[in-house]
């Protein structure tokens, strides 16, 4: 029997498994002598469970169907996960807003510490994680007799490929579920553009775009590139774009192949979100802007002239 | 009498570019500016507005930290909190989220607030855990990453900033809320308020007084700087940029 039994809480919506789960599996596979189980909480999780069972390295999928699991409420899921965690040495979730909301609640119920944003596995009980907006990396160790609850920093791991064939087992988890927390609605700023967290190319705009209208030149460029569109906090705060487009310490941490920062100064909180980008391009009219210190390719000038020009030349 | 409890942490100011000690044993905090965690200022601002709208009579701020944390608590009192509690920890002691949550739970049991507001994350350790842990231990609702909180009778409707957009939850009070950046813009402290704050009650208690045994379970063995990105190249125009992107196979 494996020494390390790892339970991963699947993130999903609308019947689709979120790629963050496949990233957690990659992290879990880095743990020696481990066996990986994925838990799917849903009203009817059959389709999501099948997707999870196809991930390489997964041994078993537990499908916990319950009418109360229709929307992922931490207060409802946590006691079920805590009950399920018996017999597991590790419980992992993604460092998305889903996992960040849920996993600390699980840890407290189990009475064990939680590790946030693990970016590397040193051993089954030793991990590395960023602090101070990624300006320091620490090595953390948890005593071997404690269960490890953690969120996995999704930008640090590639999604595992399909090709697995795990067994799917339906489980009944008997615990009292609270009714004090109720889901009302979710307003997704729907767009046809690629998802910010998984896109290969991301074009981001900052305060300099000046208005919601100003962002149009970025949407247009993004369309040409097949890119997702992101933003700095300043652009979100000013109401140019919705909150789910924010990149940074308190927004999304992303790792695209190409990141194009347009009219963004490069505050440390923003840079935290793009440290793992393969290539960073910066367009800014201020040659002294801190973004140029991290950019692989920099271009100084007025974005309102340069961005349309770039789109044209890409034709 | 409805009360609101706000948890604030003393952290290295967000404008400071931190430095690591050369031996990798920690972050240099000597002579560095320390402030209220920005998310906790937002938590306090929200509590003050709730009180001023009549949703509560009293706003209590609490912090777990070294004696010097009194400075940040005084600032919180100057912002408008009614009283403060410092749970004094040894200088340099690490207060893990589970210990912070247990300590806050002890204060919750003592003060019986209707509403508890925390920041979503402390910007030093970036843990993003304490509010959720407190809600679990207290067996009450949590509404994290809040960008609006509306109170009505014994319920709250909260809009939360999540990866896919904005989620709305309804929770029964008492409940725990954690703040996102867009919940509000904290007020500035005015000089006369700083004078007034000196007369407001600031109580200091110990873990033992609260019946809490602080635990450090996660051992931090090493601090290192993140890998640095190589400084790149500057291009002179769009044509050159497109050329560089093509050469890298990116477009
Ligand atoms: C606790 C905390 C958390 C935070 N989290 C985040 C986060 O997650 N993400 C984030 O982004 N920020 C975050 N911030 C905010 C961050 O500190 C900065 O304030 C923010 O990133 C600035 O956004 P900006 O670069 O768009 O705006 P600015 O700093 O105002 O920069 C605008 C840039 O545009 C350039 N410019 C202006 N006009 C033009 C033009 N015509 N053509 C070309 N360039 C032009 C200027 O030279 C300037 O460099 C956080 C702050 C705090 C305190
Ligand atoms: N030592 C502490 N004293 C008071 N409040 C704290 C402390 N640590 C964490 N908190 C609260 O919990 C929030 C989240 O912190 P963390 O879980 O450490 O990221 C902070 O924004 C504070 O509101």
pLDDT tens-digit map of A114-173? 999 999 999 999 999 999 999 999 999 999 999 999 999 999 999 999 999 999 999 999
Structural domains of chain A ordered from first start: 4-170 (3.40.50.620), 201-314 (3.40.50.1220)
At residue A298, φ and ψ (nearest 5 deg) are -120, 145
Cα–Cα separations (whole angstroms), residue B168 to A15, A17, A73, B156, B165: 20, 22, 11, 10, 10
The CA B225 to ligand 2 mean position distance, Å, reads 24
Q: How close does chain A come to B41, measured CA to CA in Å?
A: 15
Q: How, if at all, do strands A136-141 and B219-224 pair?
A: antiparallel
Chain A interface includes B180 (CB < 8 A): yes
Closest chain A residue by Cα to residue B251: A225
HSE-CB at B196 with a 13 A cutoff on CA atoms is: 13
When pLDDT is cut at 50, 70 and 90, the band that residue A1 belongs to is confident
Nearest CA to ligand 1 atom 48: A265
- Output the pLDDT for position A190: 63
The mean pLDDT of A169-185, rounded to a whole number, is 96
Strand positions, DSSP E, B56-173: 58-65, 83-88, 115-119, 142-152, 155-162, 165-172
CB-defined site of ligand 1, < 6 Å: A 206-208, 232-235, 246-251, 263-265, 267, 269-270, 273, 284-286, 289, 302-304; B 14, 38, 123
Among chain B residues, the shortest Cα distance to A284 is held by B234
Q: What is the pLDDT of residues B65-83, one digit of tens each?
A: 999 999 999 999 999 999 9
Contact between A97 and B163 (Cβ < 8 Å) = yes
pLDDT-flagged residues of chain B (< 50): none
pLDDT in tens, A235-247: 999 999 999 999 9
Provide the edge-to-edge strand list for the sheet that holds B202-205: A181-188, B165-172, B155-162, B142-152, B175-179, B115-119, B3-7, B58-65, B83-88, B202-205
CATH code for residues B3-226: 3.40.50.620
Place of tokens 């919601």: A212
- Alpha-carbon gap, residue B69 to B90, rounded angstroms: 11
How far does the CA of residue A166 sit from the closest CA of chain B (Å)?
A: 29
Query: Ligand 2 centroid vs B178 CA: distance in angstroms?
Result: 10
B97 contacts chain A (CB < 8 A)? yes
A23's tokens: 């990233």
Picking from A13, A115, A131 by the largest number of B CB atoms within 10 A of its own CB, the best residue to mutate is: A131
Residue B149, strand partner residues: B158
Give the whole-angstrom CA distance, residue A144 versus residue B240.
Answer: 55
pLDDT of residue A276: 92
Please list every residue in chain B whose beta carbon sits closer than 8 Å to the beta carbon of residue A135: 17-18, 225-226
* Dist. CA A267 → ligand 1 center (Å): 6
Nearest CA in chain B to A189: B165
Please give the ipTM for the structure prediction: 0.95
Reduce the DSSP state of residue A190 to 3 states and report it.
Answer: coil
| Residues B46-60: b if buried by 16+ CB within 10 A, e if exposed | bbbbbbeeebbebbb
pLDDT at A250: 87
Q: What's the number of CA atoms in the CB half-sphere (13 Å) around residue A308?
A: 7
**Rounded to 5 degrees, what are φ and ψ at A78?**
-55, -45
């Amino acid at each position: 029997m494996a020494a390390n039994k790892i339970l991963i809480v699947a993130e999903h919506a609308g019947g689709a498994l979120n790629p963050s789960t496949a990233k957690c599996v990659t992290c879990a596979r880095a743990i020696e002598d481990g066996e990986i189980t994925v838990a799917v909480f849903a009203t009817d999780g059959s389709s999501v469970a099948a997707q999870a069972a196809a991930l390489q390295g997964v041994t078993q999928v537990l499908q916990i169907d319950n009418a109360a699991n229709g929307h992922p409420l931490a207060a409802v899921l946590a006691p079920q996960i805590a009950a399920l965690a018996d017999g597991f040495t590790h419980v992992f979730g993604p460092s998305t807003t889903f996992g960040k909301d849920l996993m600390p609640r699980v840890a407290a119920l189990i009475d064990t510490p939680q590790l946030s944003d693990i970016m590397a596995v040193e051993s089954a009980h030793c991990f590395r994680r960023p602090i101070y907006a990624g300006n320091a990396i620490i090595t953390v160790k948890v005593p071997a007799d404690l269960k490890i609850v953690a969120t996995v920093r999704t930008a640090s791991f590639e999604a595992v490929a399909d090709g697995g064939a795990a067994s799917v087992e339906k489980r009944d988890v008997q615990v009292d579920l609270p009714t004090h927390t109720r889901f009302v609605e979710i307003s997704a700023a729907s767009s046809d553009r690629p998802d910010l967290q998984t896109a290969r190319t991301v074009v981001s705009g900052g305060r300099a775009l000046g208005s919601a209208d100003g962002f149009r030149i970025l949407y247009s460029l993004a369309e040409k590139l097949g890119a997702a569109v992101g933003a700095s906090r300043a652009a979100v705060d000013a109401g140019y774009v919705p909150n789910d487009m924010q990149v940074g310490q308190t927004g999304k941490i992303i790792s695209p192949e190409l990141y194009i920062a347009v009219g963004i100064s490069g505050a440390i909180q923003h840079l935290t979100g793009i440290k793992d980008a393969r290539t960073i391009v910066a367009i800014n009219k201020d040659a002294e802007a801190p973004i140029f210190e991290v950019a692989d390719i920099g271009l100084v000038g007025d974005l309102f002239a340069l961005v349309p020009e770039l789109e044209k030349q890409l034709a | 009498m409805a009360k609101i409890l706000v948890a604030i942490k003393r952290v290295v100011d967000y404008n400071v570019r931190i430095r690591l000690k050369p031996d990798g044993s920690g972050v240099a905090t000597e002579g560095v500016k320390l402030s209220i965690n920005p998310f906790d200022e937002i938590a306090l601002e929200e509590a003050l507005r709730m009180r001023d709208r009549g949703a509560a009579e009293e706003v209590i701020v609490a912090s777990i930290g070294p004696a010097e944390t009194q400075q940040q608590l005084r600032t919180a009192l100057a912002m408008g909190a009614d009283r403060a509690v410092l749970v004094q920890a040894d200088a340099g002691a690490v207060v893990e989220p589970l210990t912070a949550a247990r300590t806050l739970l002890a204060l919750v049991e003592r003060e019986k607030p209707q509403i508890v507001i925390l920041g979503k994350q402390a910007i030093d350790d970036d843990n993003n855990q304490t509010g959720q842990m407190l809600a679990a231990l207290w067996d009450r609702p949590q509404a994290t990453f809040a960008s609006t909180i509306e109170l009505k009778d014994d319920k709250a409707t909260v809009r939360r900033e999540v990866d896919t957009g904005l989620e709305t939850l309804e929770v029964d009070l008492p409940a725990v809320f954690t703040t996102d950046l867009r919940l509000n813009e904290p007020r500035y402290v005015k000089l006369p308020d700083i004078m007034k704050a000196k007369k407001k009650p600031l109580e200091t208690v110990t873990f033992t007084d609260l019946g809490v045994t602080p635990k450090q379970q996660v051992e931090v063995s090493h601090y290192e700087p993140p890998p640095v990105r190589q400084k790149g190249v500057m291009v002179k125009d769009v044509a050159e940029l497109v050329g560089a992107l093509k050469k890298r196979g990116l477009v």
